[in-house]
Amino acid sequence: MKKIGILALLIITVGGLTAQKKDVTITDIWQNYSFYSRTVNGVRSLNNGGSYTSLIKAEKGNNVVKYSYTKKGDGEILIDNSKLLYNDKIVSINNYDFSSDENKVLISSNTEGIYRHSSKSDYFVYELASSKLEKLSDGEKQMYATFSSGADKVAYVQENNLYFKDLTSGKITQITKDGKKGAIINGASDWVYEEELVLVKAFKWSPDAKKIAFYKFDESNVKEWSLKYYDNLYPTEERFKYPKAGEDNSKIEIYIYDLLSGKTEKANISGDFEYIIRMDWANDSKSLMLQSMNRHQSNLKMHLIDLATNTDNVILEESHHKYVEIPTTYFLDTKNQFIITSEKDGYNHLYLYDMSGKLVNQITKGNWEVIDFYGLDEKSGILYYQSTEVGAITRNVYSIKLNGSSKIRLSPKTGVNSAEFSSSFKYFINTNSSANTPHFVTVNNNKGKELRVLMDNAGLSENLKKYNISKKEFTTLKINGQDLNAWIMKPKNFDETKKYPLFMFVYGGDGNQTVMDSWDSFNAFWFNHLTSKGYMVVSVDNRGTEGNGADFRKSIYKQLGKYETEDQIAVAKYFATLPYIDGSRIGIFGWSFGGYLSTSCLLKGSDVFKTAIAVAPVTNWRYYDNIYTERYMQTPQENESGYDENSPINHVDKLIGNYLLIHGMTDDNVHYQNAAEMVNALIKANKQFTQFSYPNKNHGIYGGNTRLHLYNMMTDYLIKNL
């Protein structure tokens, strides 16, 4: 053994202990996906309640693998994708659903996304016992294929018409024949119902499988929007119906098809309504439950349609002088009762009613929000939900009895928790994360005890140790008389005696929070990259955001964007008073509603903000869809000043700072019109700005190197202009 000098040994030891950590790069985030946190995908609880299946990526496609909730192991491959052949070609599994008896599986393959939630696929029926694979239908791809309760039939939508296939005989029956692109849609929703009401599949089998209820959308009078794709010698164009604020909606009708008689009958719905927001079957298959809303979305009615007489009985009605949130509804199997969410006490809570519309009891209470309802174990009378009881920036899983007693918190870890329960409600898969800890996925029992770990992202946690990470620090700010939740990310080697530029991140719209104690694989690490460049990064949830009750969220009514902008400007002014912030170098960034707010802040707060980056912003509320905009603003005809005073396009003369406007040219949601008209207004006002357009990209602006390019561009712009 060689002797090593004491000095050399000290150098080696100290050097080993102080290995240089790396700064986060844009390539790490958007090319190498170095901070991507994995979860468990495609979970289906099996009927036995003790096992589940999941989609597991394989050498060829995705396998469907069966696991025990409680026992460790590699699992049993139920469907080996490499052996799933049709006409000697592998059918790649994109998604799957079991029949009620679990003898058959509906497999979707070659799936094409249409808009945010909708898609169409080649569907196949796979028999587990025989390994027989049958294509559902030839010709155009199908949408929303669904087994009947008897597992012997499948209903689906194809080219705007509704069909069902008898799996025993192979016979296909076409239920509707008037479906036509741009005119009539049967069994699927139009664009605005999908985007704003999250209603996508618009048909449902009756529990006894003897009937199918479905929506008919007549969008003939809805005005058309076009998207142009520059992907050929001559551009191609996609046209679809998009109702802007104040414009005509689709006309909605509900029909019931009887499989035995082959007859279709229109449901007789009483009263005036603009929207049918939900449709459910009563458990006895004798009644249809519909929820309607007026155009202002200030009045909700629950209709019970008796199919024997085709008569309507309104069993529940709720009104609000601003608007009513779309409720979650659950119908009990064993009792003549239903559970529904409501904000009538100021916070979103669960209520139990009987089928006559009489209130049985309020199940949950308190100055916090029920965010998700997971279901009810009717044997024990215990239901399960997710809420903000610990705080607005967190989410936890709870159980409670139907009478509101015996509440138990089932998720012990801090941060955000979400659950997927077994069919027996004995177990649930809990996915937990925090702002500084990647996803940790476990199996827990229904008392909350952790039974085993499914995914710990240990590799990612170890990889994070190699980087200089600026952690989010959560706080509350008193702004405009309100307590607003915030997080702060400090620059590398933060020194209170120095001054730093401030960069604000905003979304700020209803139903969303940027201040959440949850993992973010992407933007959070871009902000880490910026802190390594010497920026202080902060985000604050303004009035109008989720998690703090109805009054906080609905305070923006008829003035969408006014108070949100005022809050963000006040936040910037507050930080400018701090000794370590350079008040002359404050910037703001947002996407979609956040792009709208970043634009509005730069214009209305021209004395505060030096730079703004706006991605896919609404610049005029008259250009956006009617269900979303009118919920908060009523129509432009009724609230002209509210629309005009709160649309950035009307404030371009105030521009002083640096403005980067980015938009995808085939954005079906926030149309490129918003960017084009903003550009025209800025030119007319003789204001200088920077604009970048992404051809053939939608609202998400992604695909290939797109995000890498986008974030490099935004970073370069910030460094030069803030």
Single-letter residue type at 86: Y
Flag whether pLDDT at 604 surpasses 50. yes
In the numeric block, the tokens 């069919």 are attached to: 423
SS3 letters across 112-159: EECCCCCEEEEEEEEECCCCCEEECCCCCCEEEEEECCCCCEEEEEEC
How many CB atoms sit inside 10 A of residue 133's CB? 18
Residues 6+ apart with CB under 8 A from 490: 470, 473, 531, 536
- The single-letter DSSP state of residue 12 is H
**486/540 Cα distance (integer angstroms):** 4
Predicted model pTM = 0.95
CATH topology of domain 471-721: Rossmann fold (3.40.50)
Q: What is the pLDDT of residues 381-440, one digit of tens each?
A: 999 999 999 999 999 999 999 999 999 999 999 999 999 999 999 999 999 999 999 999
**375/426 Cα distance (integer angstroms):** 12
Answer whether 422's CB lies under 8 Å from 52's CB: yes
In the numeric block, the tokens 């955001």 are attached to: 545
Q: What is the pLDDT of residues 522-563, one digit of tens each?
A: 999 999 999 999 999 999 999 999 999 999 999 999 999 999
What average pLDDT does range 692-718 have in this prediction? 98
pLDDT band at 628 (very low <50, low <70, confident <90, very high): very high
Q: What is the pLDDT of residues 316-353, one digit of tens each?
A: 999 999 999 999 999 998 889 999 999 999 999 999 99
Q: What is the pLDDT of residues 68-103, one digit of tens each?
A: 999 998 899 999 999 999 999 999 999 999 999 999
DSSP structure string for 625-638 = BHHHHHHHH--TTT
**514/517 Cα distance (integer angstroms):** 9
Q: What is the pLDDT of residues 205-248, one digit of tens each?
A: 999 999 999 999 999 999 999 999 999 999 999 999 999 999 99
**204/282 Cα distance (integer angstroms):** 11
What average pLDDT does range 252-280 have in this prediction? 97
pLDDT of residue 631: 98
pLDDT band at 298 (very low <50, low <70, confident <90, very high): very high
- The single-letter DSSP state of residue 308 is T
Answer whether 562's CB lies under 8 Å from 594's CB: no
pLDDT of residue 334: 84
pLDDT of residue 320: 98
Return the SS3 of 649: helix
Residue 54 CA, chain-centre distance (Å), reads 21
**298/691 Cα distance (integer angstroms):** 39
pLDDT band at 511 (very low <50, low <70, confident <90, very high): confident
Flag whether pLDDT at 1 surpasses 60. no
Answer whether 53's CB lies under 8 Å from 43's CB: yes
Length of the chain: 722
What average pLDDT does range 31-47 have in this prediction? 96
Give the count of alpha carbons within 13 A of 328, CB side only.
Answer: 13
**Options 3.40.50.300, 2.120.10.30, 1.10.10.10, 3.40.50.720; which CATH number does 334-434+437-462 get?**
2.120.10.30
Identify how many contiguous H helices and E strands the chain contains and give both numbers.
Answer: 12, 45
**634/70 Cα distance (integer angstroms):** 52
Q: Edge to edge, what strands does the sheet with 329-331 contain?
A: 329-331, 337-342, 349-354, 359-362
Residues 6+ apart with CB under 8 A from 197: 189, 275, 277, 326, 627
Residue 13 CA, chain-centre distance (Å), reads 50
In the numeric block, the tokens 């009644």 are attached to: 287
pLDDT of residue 335: 86
pLDDT of residue 10: 40
Residues 6+ apart with CB under 8 A from 385: 350, 364, 370, 371, 372, 373, 374, 397, 398, 400
In the numeric block, the tokens 């409600």 are attached to: 425
**30/707 Cα distance (integer angstroms):** 6
Return the SS3 of 596: helix
Listed by start position, the domains of the chain span 268-319, 334-434+437-462, 471-721
pLDDT band at 60 (very low <50, low <70, confident <90, very high): confident
**592/624 Cα distance (integer angstroms):** 11
**426/538 Cα distance (integer angstroms):** 41
What average pLDDT does range 570-580 have in this prediction? 98
Flag whether pLDDT at 359 surpasses 60. yes
Q: Mean of the per-residue pLDDT values for the chain?
A: 96
Flag whether pLDDT at 301 surpasses 60. yes
Helix residue ranges per DSSP H, 648-705: 673-684
Token representation of residue 481: 């008389």
Answer whether 498's CB lies under 8 Å from 582's CB: no
